Structure 1
Amino acid sequence: MSLGAGAGRLLGVALGPLLPFWLRRRARIGKELPDRLAERQGWHAERPPGALLWLHAASVGETMSLLPLIGALLEQRPGLRLLVTTGTVTAATMLAQRLPPEASGRVTHRFAPLDVPRWLARFLDGWRPDGAIFVESELWPNLSTALARRGIPAVLVNARISPRSARLWRWAPGLIGQMLGRFRLVVAQSAEDAERLRALGAARVEHWGHLKAAAAPLPADPAELARLRGLIGARPVFLAASTHAGEEAAALEAHRILRNRFPDLLTLIAPRHPARAAEVAALAAPYGGVTRRSAGGQPDAGCDIHIADTLGEMGLFFRLAGVALLGATLVPKGGHNPIEPARLGCPLLIGPHTGHVQALAARLLESGGALPVRDAATLAEAVADVLSDTRRAQAMARAAASVAEDASHLPGKLASAILDIMPAEAGPAPETDGPREKDRS
């Protein structure tokens, strides 16, 4: 065990008694489900018979990128069962909404255990997965060690590591090299990510494309879409999608500027976290009539700014918009999935902060499928350019759609590679001689 891994184990052991208090605090503010806190300590395993793969995604974007892979895995191995863990309540909600009915009987969801050795041992000894798949940058020292001790093969998909993170990890080369070296396969988002991951110690690294680009089009209720289109009529529509603090202010200032040219403009703001809706509505109040979808408000003639504060409806709003700002790119959050609007023919505006989706954002910008913006003024200018030029909007939509289609093969290829690594005749493994839990700590 490296010095870094040893420090990680000591930290996990030391924090173990304190984390239940932290989890309860998160539950009080809606970031955990009170009746499922025990899952974060590895409890409530219900292992099904037969082969079981564990897939973990931290948040909404990573979870949504798993959906096409889930479909491909289940199609290629009919008897396979999947355990999907997430780190957030929102991701769990979205998984339940988007999981196809035919897959639901073969997929079980749990909240991920925290990186505490006892809790991980309890989780792994209870579920006994035949393999583990992690998304993007989920690197945890105690989990890595626990999987290696049990001989559970692990794969890292859609892997990314920023230049800054790569530089920081060089201060702990033993720890990062050990963690990355334990993955049987690492599939990077971009060629640059692949190069950095190899330099840090990953053994087998491939670059086959970006998994988020393979996601199916976001759904929308046809009747509700038609109803809203009837309410909006011919008004121009600007959407600020999945926004974070700071981006709503820029979108509202752009709205103010644009009203001089488009007096009937409707601006839709969909905050990434619906719990911020009241804050966003208060911020929007000086800019015109404001309604909130969660409160029954409508984007009708008396509404200038509509707060789209519901979950699972981004497919609806991308279809309504004439142009959309990609959230998490005007502030340093790294960017959300740009392929979602691209698949729906919605012209896209992208800010400078695209670290999480850099390869996809670069391709969209280079192909003409998106326009760059950096602040409220350039945002207003780009929105005006798209809304006033139908041909330009259509050309952007076609270019974006071509980028989105390029990765349609990836889930099947990735599923085949993962299943080749996993045991051919998998099933419940015998219990290990590792640590056993005699209490509920």
Structure 2
Amino acid sequence: MSALARIALTAYRWAGVAAFPCAGLFLSIRAAKGKEDRTRKLERVGYASADRPRGPLVWVHAASVGEMMAVTALMRELRRCDINVLLTTGTTTSAQIAGDRLQDGVIHQYVPVDALPGVRRFLDYWHPDLMIGVESEIWPTTLQELHDRQIPQILVNARLSDRSFARWQRHPTVAASLFSKLAMVVAQSDLDAERFRDLGAWPVSMSGNIKVDTDAPACDSALLASYERQIGHRKAWAAISTAEGEEKIAAMVHRALKAHMGQLTVVVPRHPDRADAIEAMLIEQGLVVARRSRDDRITPETDVFLGDSIGEMGLYLRLTDIAFAGRSLIKDGGGSNPLEPAVLGCAVLSGPHVENFRESYQKLVRHGAARVVRDAETLAKAVHFLMNNHVVRHKMADSGMEAVQDMRGALTSTIKAMEPYINPLTVKARLEPKKAAGE
């Protein structure tokens, strides 16, 4: 490690120690804004709220809902090997979904802030045998502490956006010091793999995107049937995972097409806590809104069905076969996952800013399953065209499902790459009694 990198990382480490006494106040402010769980704030400073089971334990960290859903199948495979799994996330939404959906043997906790006292307290209690991070989570203090304790850290489904890669490149010695501490990187694409190698990671392999291997998002069949009856014969399209500004674009598209199509527009914001502001904007635009969180009925007068619930993307996508994937018409948005709508038989539309899912979009576009729009006008034209062209719409949907099938296999490749770390834990797990520590 160069002297400059050592100074920078040491400064970061001790800045975290100095700021740690203020963590309680910081977390209380976030809790007041709904960004932290008031009842579980102590987890964020390293205090556990669950027993540590006896036997090998793998710590899996997924920052938010998308990353968590991506590694659900991987955690299932670890449990089949009788390995305990500790899942940490950073958002209240992901914690809620984890509580509803995770299988037995997976313990959920909030991830501790990246400050030495909290990280040490967390690791002293849980004693993980292996840490698996998802996509691009690099926390310097946590990474250093894992390295010092000889706990391997593997990054799976790893990716680096253009912006993140450029930022790391401006500090090459710091990047090399951090990325070289990773035991292994399993990247989403050849480009991502090359970027991780350039920054000092080794070994690096490429598996593809494990989100392709996740199950299609489920939904309540009775609830789906109820909404389908309410919608009746009206045509519908959806704008999903939208960022601020894109809901207004969806409203513009709806108003442009309403006189000709009489369609229903389904809007699913990326952050449901913005629903009140979105509803106010839609009403100001003269639109009639039904909200999922209020169990509002969809009537013939309803213009927009606002999907402001958590974990029901499977429901919203099954109400339509045309889906615009958001965070893609705003600069630096990065795009949103197009694989969920594709696997559920939707023709996919997207803006041009899809850096975080570049590989997936390239494959969908090559298969004829996705189309790129530039703005509200071209989005309106694309929605209008697809609503009026049954053959084209269904061809795009069929092509999307074929493309997803062709892309599968990343989970198998990821597990195979990790076998040198997983197999010893499997043997250990099957030799030890499965009791909670202290029993």
Contact 1:64 1:95 in 2 (8 A): no
1:42-69 C-alpha deviation (Å, 9 max, x unpaired): 1016210111000001111111111121
Could you tell me which residue of structure 2 aligns to residue 14 of structure 1? Answer: 18
| Paired amino acid for 2:299 | D
Q: Secondary structure at the match of 1:82?
A: strand
Q: Is the 8 A contact 1:3 1:174 kept in 2?
A: no
Give the whole-Å Cα distance in 2 for the aligned partners of 1:405 and 1:71: 21
CA distance change for structure 1 residues 130 and 182 in 2, over 3 Å: closer, same or farther? same
Question: Is the partner of 1:325 in helix, strand or coil?
Answer: strand
Q: 1:98 and 1:349, CA in 2 relative to 1: closer, same or farther beyond 3 A?
A: farther
Q: Tell me the alpha carbon deviations over residues 202-233 of structure 1, each in whole angstroms, 9 at most, x when there is no partner.
A: 11111110111211100011111111111111
Match of 2:107, SS state, is: strand
Q: Give me the whole-angstrom Cα distance separating, in 1, the residues matched to 2:169 and 2:312.
A: 41
**Matched AA of 2:98:** L
Does 2:37 correspond to 1:39? no
Paired letter, 1:279: A
2:412 is matched with which residue?
A: 412
Alignment partner for residue 3 of structure 1, among 1, 7, 12?
7
Equivalents in 1 of 2:101, 2:340: separation in Å? 14
CA distance in structure 2 between the aligned counterparts of 1:83 and 1:24, rounded to whole angstroms: 25
Deviations 1:118-157 (A, max 9, x none): 1100000100000000011111110111000110011001
Kindly indicate whether residue 396 of structure 2 is the aligned counterpart of residue 396 of structure 1: yes
CA distance in 2, matches of 1:381, 1:33: 43
Structure-to-structure mapping, 1:17-416, within 5 angstroms: 17-44=21-48, 46-75=51-80, 77=81, 79-99=82-102, 104-262=103-261, 264-285=262-283, 286-331=285-330, 332-416=332-416
What is the aligned length? 420
Report the 3-state secondary structure (helix = DSSP H, G, I; strand = E; otherwise coil) of the residue aligned with 2:137: coil
CA distance in 2, matches of 1:62, 1:117: 25
Provide the rounded CA distance (Å) in 1 between the counterparts of 2:263 and 2:146: 54
Q: CA deviation at 1:93?
A: 1.5
Matches of 1:97 and 1:222, distance apart in 2: 17
Instruction: Quote the residue 1:437 is aligned against.
Output: none
Deviations 1:9-57 (A, max 9, x none): 1221122122221111110111111110000001016210111000001
For 2:388, give the aligned amino acid. S
TM-score (norm 2): 0.92
Q: Would you say the 8 A contact 2:321–2:397 is kept in 1?
A: no
Q: Residue 135 of structure 2 contacts residue 158 of structure 2 at CA under 8 Å; is this kept in 1?
A: yes
Secondary structure of the residue that 1:261 maps to in structure 2?
Answer: helix
Moved more, 117-126 or 179-188: 179-188
Deviation at 1:418, TM superposition (A): 2.2
Distance of aligned partners of 1:201 and 1:310 in 2 relative to their CA distance in 1, 3 Å threshold: same
- Mean Cα deviation higher: 226-235 or 286-295: 286-295
Instruction: Look up the equivalent residue of 1:375 and give its one-letter code.
Output: D
AA at the equivalent of 2:366: E
| Alpha-carbon separation, structure 2, partners of 1:165 and 1:369 | 28
Give the Cα–Cα distance (whole angstroms) in 2 for the partners of residues 186 and 379 of structure 1. Answer: 38
Shift of 1:291: 1.5
Q: What is the match of residue 438 of structure 1?
A: none
Q: 2:157, 2:207 within 8 Å by CA — same for their partners in 1?
A: no
After superposing the two structures, state which structure 1 stretch, 41-50 or 119-128, moved more: 41-50
SS in 1 for 2:260: coil
Structure 1 counterpart of 2:154, one-letter code: V
Q: What's the counterpart of residue 434 of structure 2?
A: none
Residue in 2 aligned with 1:434? none
Give the stretch that moved more between structures: 294-303 or 235-244: 294-303
SS in 1 for 2:21: coil
Aligned-residue offset at 1:188: 1.1
Task: Give the percent of matched residue pairs that are identical in Structure 1 and Structure 2.
Answer: 39
Cα distance in 2 between the residues matched to 1:247 and 1:278: 15
How far apart, CA to CA, are the structure 2 residues paired with 1:123 and 1:426?
Answer: 23
Deviation at 1:98, TM superposition (A): 3.2
Is the Cα–Cα contact under 8 Å of residues 141 and 175 in structure 1 kept in the other structure? no
C-alpha separation between the residues in 2 aligned to 1:406 and 1:124?
A: 40
For 1:91, the aligned partner's letter is: S
State the distance in 2 between where 1:335 and 1:170 align: 23
